[in-house]
Amino acid sequence: FQKANPPKYIPPDYNFSNPYDMVAMNGKLYISDGNACVIFEVDPAATQNKRVRRLADMSVGHPITTGIAAGADGNVYVTIMTIPPYPPGAAKVFKIGASGTVTEVGTGLSLGTGLAIGPDGTFYVAEFATALGKAPYVVPPGRVMKLVAGGAPQQVAAPLMYPGMLRWGPDGLYSDAFSIGTNEGATPIGAIYRLDSTATGGK
């Protein structure tokens, strides 16, 4: 599909597709593609040549679409990583409507990689790392932030080593960690944490 339907902007490192995150909603799958910077809608029940459509093309400027979440309002929401040097506060959260309309709904984030929506509609975003705006850019740790209406994002959990995904489970908010690291030995050290979503500045 991507070869036959290229995005509006082709980045220098374009490799057709690099799916990052996926959610299910109303019998369909919604996939963020970090390399092409597009959002796909996939209908598994459709015939093979009609299963995939591009819901939104966000490729201009190459923002690197990452974490995706399904809203109770029937819309899809996505956050962005931004491109080097990952300017502090430049990452955002966007609403993707059923027609593909893209609307900014949250700002002031940095290096967004994971996105979850709480039962009360609060947005939670994983920030991948620190050293923003200067080399080497993605020095750990990262953290999880929540969007606050009318104010700056608030820290919920830190430090987290390279958080990549967020999910809201039946008993609260979960994040992975060490999404790109091991202990340089035979044993991986990837982890999943349950977070206190009510904390402010918490660990």
> What strands lie across the sheet with 76-80, from one edge to the other?
65-70, 76-80, 91-96, 102-109
- The two structure tokens encoding residue 67: 């974490």
Q: Specify the DSSP class assigned to residue 186.
A: S
- The two structure tokens encoding residue 156: 């919920």
Q: Specify the DSSP class assigned to residue 88.
A: T
Model-level pTM? 0.92
Q: What is the number of residues in the chain?
A: 203
The one-digit pLDDT tens for each residue of the chain (203 residues) are 888 899 999 988 888 889 999 999 999 999 999 999 999 999 999 998 899 999 999 999 999 999 999 999 999 999 999 998 899 999 999 999 999 999 999 999 999 999 999 999 999 999 998 878 788 888 889 999 999 988 899 999 999 999 999 999 999 999 999 887 655 666 677 899 999 888 665 55
Distance CA 6, CA 32 (A): 15
